[in-house]
Amino acid sequence: MVMTFLHSGYNSKISLSASEVLEISQEISRNFTPCFSSGMPELAEKIRLSPKELLDIGDEISRSFAPKASHNIPEVTLLPVDPGHLYAYWNLGENRENAAPDNEDKGPLTLRIYSQPEQEQTATETVAWFDIAIDSPSPRHQVSLPNPVNETAYSAAIGICCEEDGFIAFAHSNIIHAPHAGATWRQGHENATYCLGKNASGQGISKST
Amino acid sequence: MTKSLPRSDYASCQQGMLSIILHAHLPYVRHPEHDSFFEENWLFEAITECYLPLIGVLERLHADNVDYRLTLSLSPTLIAMLRDELLQTRYLKYLHSRLELAEKEIIRTRKQPEYQKLARLYRRFFLDELNTYQELYHGDLLSAFKKHQATGKLELITTAATHGFLPLLNVSETAVRNQVNTGIATFKANLGCAPTGFWLPECGYYPGLETVLADAGIKYFFVDSHGVMDASQSPRNGVYAPLDCGNDVAAFARDPESSKQVWSAKEGYPGDFDYREYYSDIGFDLDLDYVAPYILDGKTRINTGIKYHRVTGGNLPKQIYNPRQALAKAYEHALDFIGKRQHQIDRLGAAMDRPPIIVAPYDAELFGHWWFEGTHWLECVLRLASEDSNGVQLASCSDYLKQQSPAQIATPAASTWGDQGYSSYWINETNDWIYPLLHKAEQEMEQLARDLRRVAVTPLQKRALNQAARSILLAQASDWPFILKSGTTIDYANKRVTDHLARFNYLHDSIRKNRINERYLTALEIMDNIFPDIDFRDYNPSKVGADYKL
């Protein structure tokens, strides 16, 4: 099929096939697509990139540099959740094999939670602890505090229990404080009205449609 | 009309203060790599239904010389998006498409006069919006807020750079400092002044955060009620007077009563049967072919902003929306709100040695977007409170602190305004996987800055390092764990966290190997073009104390 611009004010004798129109269109797209350049002040010579190029670069980076939590060094991190809960995550590093569930020589992987009243932080003999046996392959755990106590510092160690109440720690955590368990917490929040509660029309949920 | 009291008058009357705070925040959503992008509509809907109507309220109050006080927290991500040329252009396109749809609706409803009346109303609404956005403010809504701030009646404050949830970033104090300081720097660069107050993202406070805020020049912040009620010393005035955290930074607590009147599922105003129903939208109600040009990819139904029904109530079929009735109800609710505050002040005034301050903070996007009549309600509240006939005086927290020093020193308790009052909404089985990744990236960024502390870097290396810092901040937004928990647009939230961390990993790898591909770096600068003045050296943890003071 040949198309002619019969009503064009330009040279009406030019006729183009469908493939020619397509080719011209593609060439214009290639060369004249609106391009972005960096707005960063340090940039002296501007590189211009089309949306397609931006997308390709973004996708390639996402594919090749996907985040991974694993470190080579063992570590455990403790986070505060609420007056009754802490949250721990860990990496075992090269101790992974020692902590493998099928290692019969050693006890199970254990998360040890230490608690110490704030006023007594220098008196190490007052440190109390409790153990949580980790039987899941997941390297994270929400810790329920058996008796939440205010003004108490918490820390954790990840390791394995061994004979005669021994404990081999692979890593020790940061020190944190659980949120203060005040009257509000003790009342169990039955009358609480937080911003995330929907009202009858659904308001109160944000940022999404 | 004006009724600003001289300071000495406070002691001699039983008047109390009401401080209304709107927190305006949206995550940074800007995708130049796509011709159009659905989640950018979050901004467009908020501009159309919340920010422009709010500016309309401020304009009318100003024109009528109403002596109101209102505090507006503008998040740095929102500031950056409102200033962004690409998003401004796309917003105009969005607004024109709403206008086109409203015009189509006028034709479609020609045999349904009640519906057509509403369609005409929507057309007028969108035309007014277009006029305000394009003609009055030339696409720059920050200039509108600045104009009203200059009158002294609107106080602008800000929040953390990308609304990072600070209690769970506090594994690194540097991470928290960079969220706070970059947020304040962005505010200063765009609004031309330093904020006095600071909105903690999700009201997430932990003891010690006040030091970071003091170093940044902040005078006050907000916590939820239990943050003050469970403070290190029992608060003598409950939540109706601020606490001094011991370093001249004041903590104001949210008033549970005024909060409940707006948020509560049972008693909240927005659920009134006369108000417009958010969930009844022609994007879902009409034939797919008809709405195709205005929905996602022509196939997936989404909200269009044109809604014809009222809440109605019960399980009854939805009834048609009556704007006049709804506005009258908003006025009634404003009267009720002010009446209850008056009652509260009378009750509190008798027991307190100083005028109580009722602090009423809300998400700005509730007004107009979720609660269509919310901006009208707000206007009525501000007008009513400015009349001399009642004892409620509007004040910002800055006004309060100029007139009254906090009488009590105490440290607030760790708290948030989220479900259950602590951090569990932002760390649970749906979103906990992000924290090891965020903390690891932060550690690596800090190590880079530490390693380079006495090393001169090339301009290209500096760009890559600064871009890595941007990627970290963008990954830290509280919006991503929030969405993962609320279950709304999970895939998008998931992708945003992993994309930003992948971009950080790429840049970190490139910098460490000194093989920076300028083309790739430029692409990342184009896509994540926020915080142009960021300095990677602020990630050096040894840069503490005086170096951090802004």
CA–CA dist B206, A178 (Å, integer) = 10
Single-letter amino acid, residue B456: A
Say which range, A49-58, A198-207, B42-51, has the weakest mean pLDDT: A198-207
**Cβ pair B462:A42 closer than 8 A:** yes
Question: Which residue from B275, B489, B518 is facing A47, i.e. has the nearest CB?
Answer: B518
Are A57 and A99 contained in the same domain?
Answer: no
Q: How confident is the model at residue A9 (pLDDT cuts 50, 70, 90)?
A: very low
Residues of chain B in contact with residue A37, where contact means CB-CB under 8 angstroms, are 522, 526
Mean pLDDT confidence for B409-425: 95
- Residue A69 above 90 pLDDT? no
What distance in Å separates residue B26's CA from the closest CA in chain A? 7
Asked if A85 and A176 sit in the same domain, the reply is yes
In a domain, A192, yes or no: no
Q: Inter-chain contact A49–B519, Cβ cutoff 8 Å?
A: yes
Site of tokens 């953390």: B160
Q: What is the pLDDT of residues B479-511, one digit of tens each?
A: 999 999 999 999 999 999 999 999 999 999 999
pLDDT of residue A24: 73
Query: CATH: 1.20.1430.10, 3.10.580.10, 3.40.630.40, 1.25.40.80. Which one for B427-548?
Result: 1.20.1430.10
Option in A42, A58, A184 nearest B459 (CB): A42
Each residue of B53-94: pLDDT tens digit?
999 999 999 999 999 999 999 999 999 999 999 999 999 999
Alpha carbons B141 and B144: distance in angstroms, whole number? 5
Are residues A57 and A90 both part of a single domain?
no
Residues 6 or more apart whose Cβ sits within 8 Å of residue B417: A194, A195, B202, B203, B224, B254
Q: Are residues A181 and A84 in the same domain?
A: yes
Lowest mean pLDDT, pick from B166-180, B184-198, B315-329, B383-397:
B383-397
Reported confidence tier of residue B517, pLDDT bands at 50, 70, 90:
very high
- Looking at the structure, do residues A104 and A172 belong to the same domain, yes or no? yes
Please report the pLDDT score of residue A26 as a whole number: 64
Kindly report the average pLDDT of chain B as a whole number. 94
Read off the pLDDT of residues A13-67 as tens digits, 9 standing for 90 and up.
677 777 777 677 666 665 666 667 766 665 545 789 999 999 999 999 999 999 9
Nearest-Cα distance to chain B for A129, in Å, is 22
- The verdict on B77 touching A (C-beta cutoff 8 Å) is no
Which of the following is catalytic: B202, B399, B528, B535? B202
pLDDT digits (tens, 9 = 90+) for A104-127: 556 789 999 999 887 655 555 568
Taking alpha carbons only, the member of B315, B339, B310, B335 closest to residue B325 is B310
Give the pLDDT mean for B195-199. 98
Residues of A (84-103) whose Cβ lies below 8 Å from B: 85, 87, 89, 91
Residue B9: per-residue pLDDT: 44
Of B77 and A180, the structure prediction assigns the larger pLDDT to B77
pLDDT of residue B6: 41
Question: Closest Cα to residue B217, out of B195, B186, B201?
Answer: B195
Supply the mean pLDDT for chain A: 75
Answer whether A36 sits within 8 Å of B207, measured CB to CB: no
**Interface size between A and B, measured as CB pairs under 8 A:** 252
DSSP state of B318: P
Provide CB contacts within 8 A for B366, sequence distance 6+: A203, A204, A206, B262, B270, B374
Q: What pLDDT is recorded for position B511?
A: 97
- Pair (A122, A87) in one structural domain: yes
The answer to the question of residue A169 being in a domain is: yes
Residues of chain B contacting residue A182, judged by C-beta atoms under 8 Å apart: 226, 229-230, 413
B482/A42 CB distance under 8 A: no
Would A118 be classed as within a structural domain?
Answer: yes
The domain tally of chain A equals: 2
Q: Is the pLDDT of residue B546 over 90?
A: no
Which residue of B45, B270, B505 is in closest CB contact with A65?
B505
Measure B531 CA to nearest chain A CA, in Å.
9
Structural domain contains residue A126 = yes
Residue of A nearest to B29 (CA): A207
CATH architecture of B14-420: Alpha-Beta Barrel (3.20)
For residue B432, the chain A residues in CB contact (below 8 A) are 87, 89, 140, 142
- The domain boundary residue, chosen from A64, A85, A115: A64
When pLDDT is cut at 50, 70 and 90, the band that residue B542 belongs to is: confident
pLDDT in tens, B284-305: 999 999 999 999 989 999 999 9
Which is it for strands B197-199 and B154-159: parallel, antiparallel or unpaired? parallel
pLDDT in tens, B349-392: 888 989 999 999 999 999 999 999 999 999 999 999 998 777 89
Tell me, yes or no, whether A200 lies in a domain.
Answer: no
Enter the ipTM. Answer: 0.91
**Residue from B229, B415, B522, B531 to probe the interface with A (highest A Cβ count within 10 Å):** B522
Same domain, A83 and A159: yes
pTM: 0.90
Judged against a pLDDT cut of 80, whether residue A1 lies above it is answered with no
Q: Predicted confidence band at A190 (pLDDT cuts at 50, 70, 90)?
A: very low
Q: Which of residues 120-159 of B touch A (CB under 8 A)?
A: none
Residues A118, A44: one domain?
Answer: no
Asked if the Cβ–Cβ distance from B363 to A195 is below 8 Å, we say yes
Give A 133-152 residues with CB within 8 A of chain B.
139-140, 142
DSSP string, B358-369: EEEEEEGGGBTT
Calculate mean pLDDT across residues B506-521: 97
**Tens-digit pLDDT profile for residues B95-116:** 999 999 999 999 999 999 999 9
**How sure is the predictor about A96, in pLDDT bands with cuts at 50, 70 and 90?**
low
Q: Give the structural domain span for A39.
A: 2-64
Residue A4 has pLDDT above 70, yes or no: no
A83 & A24 share domain: no
* Confidence grade of residue A152 (pLDDT, cut at 50, 70, 90): confident
Which residue in B167, B171, B270 is closest to A203 by CB distance?
Answer: B270
Residue A85 pLDDT class (50, 70, 90 cuts): very high
Residue A43 lies in a domain: yes
Chain A partners within 8 Å of B365 (Cβ)? 206-207
CATH number at residue A173: 2.60.40.10
pLDDT score for A189: 40
Query: What does the pLDDT read at residue B408?
Result: 95
Does one domain contain both A12 and A114?
A: no
Known catalytic membership, residue B202: yes
Structure tokens at B188: 């200063």
pLDDT exceeds 80 at position B259 = yes
How do beta strands A48-49 and A109-117 pair?
A: unpaired
Q: How confident is the model at residue B515 (pLDDT cuts 50, 70, 90)?
A: very high
- Residue spans of the domains in chain B: they are 14-420, 427-548
B252, B157 Cβ separation under 8 angstroms: no
Same domain as A86, residue A60: no
* Mean pLDDT for the stretch of residues B245-265: 93
Phi first, then psi, for residue B487 (nearest 5°) are 80, 25
Burial track B333-344 (b if 16+ CB lie within 10 A, e otherwise) = bbeebbeebbeb
More confident residue, A182 or B498: B498
B421 chain-A contacts, CB cut-off 8 A: 82, 184-185, 189, 192, 194
Nearest to A34 by CA among A50, A18, A23: A50
CB contact under 8 A, A51 and B32: yes
Identify the pLDDT of residue A127: 80
In percent, the amount of chain B with pLDDT more than 90 equals 91
Q: Using alpha carbons, select from B42, B137, B22 the residue that is nearest to residue B377.
A: B22
- Whether A155 and A106 map to the same domain: the answer is yes
